[in-house]
Amino acid sequence: AGARPSVAVIGGGIIGLAIGWRLAAAGCRVDIFEKGRAGQGASHAAAGMLAAGAEAEPGEQRLLPLCLESRSRWRGFAAELEAASGQPVGLRDEGTLIVALTRDDVEVMRVNHQFQRGLGIESHWLTGAQVKELEPFLTPRAVAGVLSPLDNQVDNRRATAALRVAFERAGGRLHEDSPVEAVDAEAGRVRGVVVGGRAHTADIVVLAAGAWSRQIAGLPAAAVPPVRPVKGQLLSVAMDPAAPLLRHVLWAPKCYMVPRADGTLIIGGTTEEKGWDDSLTAGGVLAMLEGAWRTLPGIEELRISEMWTGFRPGSRDDAPLLGPVAGVDGLVLATGHHRNGILLTPVTADLVAGFILTGRVDPLMQPFGLDRFAATPAAA
């Protein structure tokens, strides 16, 4: 099979690090260039839900097989990553509980539940009493629920930190405070990247710059991915880890809550089209806290630990952009993961690294090429 290709990765988020880890472990020379600190973009901001099943709603069929496949890979991926890094990644397997507070919520939940069951997704209908048995601190107004037992969570900050260690231990080189100024491309072929005014040559360039992916200079027009920042606000409160108010990932009508093992309870999240505006707003925080308080009144007494914003890398159809670009040899995309990038990390790393090592596009990756947008105008 000859020598392994050398690879330059643009972006040290969870996606770039995971691909870099796979490739370095396979014997490639890998350099990851990160404009700031690795893992401080969307990968830091996320809630870490691995919600392939609960999120399946009528109209999102393209993405579902990829999400389900990645969900099933997370357990093995986490075990391998923990062994390679010597660090825990906080995978929890209580599953996701969806609750309804009104008759209207019940009907919406019933439609989604039947849709998911029809697709063979494991999901169980619960009465109000059964919901309260699982989560005794929920409001008495919780009239019904659905348990999606395979939709778990991972601590995305720990997972990203572990990936960095695993990548470096596998021999990969991480360059922080090193923005890629341009992709070095000529006559339909990418030759490397320009960093700090200097050319860094590589056989393959992986574009994994999250919400910033369309801003890299030098990309041939045909290879500019239609990715835009989709703002999200989140906050967290501190539960007593010995007596937590919540154990399952919870989806309520107006918010979601994600309890970490250390007692941190993440409450989210807004979805806003505001460009690069990263402000926390009174309205956003109010909506999240009100939604959470109506569902889990006990949060009223808890200390707020943190509030933050992040930018989901949204593509035009909310599905990622993965793999080679026709007519631009040497460039590989791994971006546009929108609100599913943590969930999709294992499958993205395997498929993208697999393509770089073998030159073959896996059938699972094939629907996610940039060419799917070729027939429509080029706005993000």
- Give the interface with ligand FAD as residue ranges (CB under 6 A): 10-16, 33-36, 40-43, 45-49, 179-180, 208-212, 216, 232, 234, 268-269, 310-313, 335, 337-343
Give the C-alpha separation, 39 to 269, whole Å. Answer: 20
Which residue's CB is nearer to ligand FAD, number 14 or number 204? 14
H or E element at residue 355: helix 345-358
Q: How far is the CB of 174 from ligand FAD (least distance, A)?
A: 11
Which residue's CB is nearer to ligand FAD, number 103 or number 198? 198
Give the C-alpha separation, 278 to 274, whole Å. Answer: 8
Which residue's CB is nearer to ligand FAD, number 85 or number 348? 348
Q: How far is the CB of 184 from ligand FAD (least distance, A)?
A: 13
Q: How far is the CB of 215 from ligand FAD (least distance, A)?
A: 7
Least Cα distance to 132 among 295, 300, 301 occurs for 295
Going by their DSSP bridges, the two strands 227-238 and 303-315 should be labelled as antiparallel
Which residue's CB is nearer to ligand FAD, number 28 or number 42? 42
Which residue's CB is nearer to ligand FAD, number 33 or number 368? 33
Q: How far is the CB of 194 from ligand FAD (least distance, A)?
A: 10
Give the C-alpha separation, 67 to 51, whole Å. Answer: 8
Which residue's CB is nearer to ligand FAD, number 57 or number 107? 57
Which residue's CB is nearer to ligand FAD, number 144 or number 170? 170
Q: How far is the CB of 332 from ligand FAD (least distance, A)?
A: 13
User: Within 10 Å of residue 123's Cβ, how many Cβ atoms?
Assistant: 24
Q: How far is the CB of 217 from ligand FAD (least distance, A)?
A: 9
Give the C-alpha separation, 151 to 302, whole Å. Answer: 26
Q: List % helix, strand, coil for the chain (3-state, nearest 5).
A: 35, 30, 40
Q: How far is the CB of 46 from ligand FAD (least distance, A)?
A: 3
Q: How far is the CB of 48 from ligand FAD (least distance, A)?
A: 5
**E strands along 63-160, which residues?**
96-100, 124-127, 144-148, 152-153
**Residue whose entry in the numeric block shows the structure tokens 């008759």:** 103
Chain centroid to Cα 322, Å, comes to 14
Q: How far is the CB of 369 from ligand FAD (least distance, A)?
A: 17
Least Cα distance to 211 among 194, 196, 226 occurs for 226
Cβ(320)–Cβ(368) under 8 Å? yes
**E strands along the chain, which residues?**
7-10, 30-33, 49-50, 96-100, 124-127, 144-148, 152-153, 173-175, 180-186, 189-195, 198-201, 204-207, 227-238, 249-252, 255-259, 264-268, 303-315, 321-325, 328-335
Give the C-alpha separation, 98 to 206, whole Å. Answer: 37
Identity of the residue numbered 78: A
Q: How far is the CB of 284 from ligand FAD (least distance, A)?
A: 11
- What residues does 146 pair with on adjacent strands? 98, 125
Taken as a whole, the chain contains a residue count of: 380
Which residue's CB is nearer to ligand FAD, number 36 or number 76? 36
Which residue's CB is nearer to ligand FAD, number 200 or number 312? 312
Which residue's CB is nearer to ligand FAD, number 44 or number 110? 44
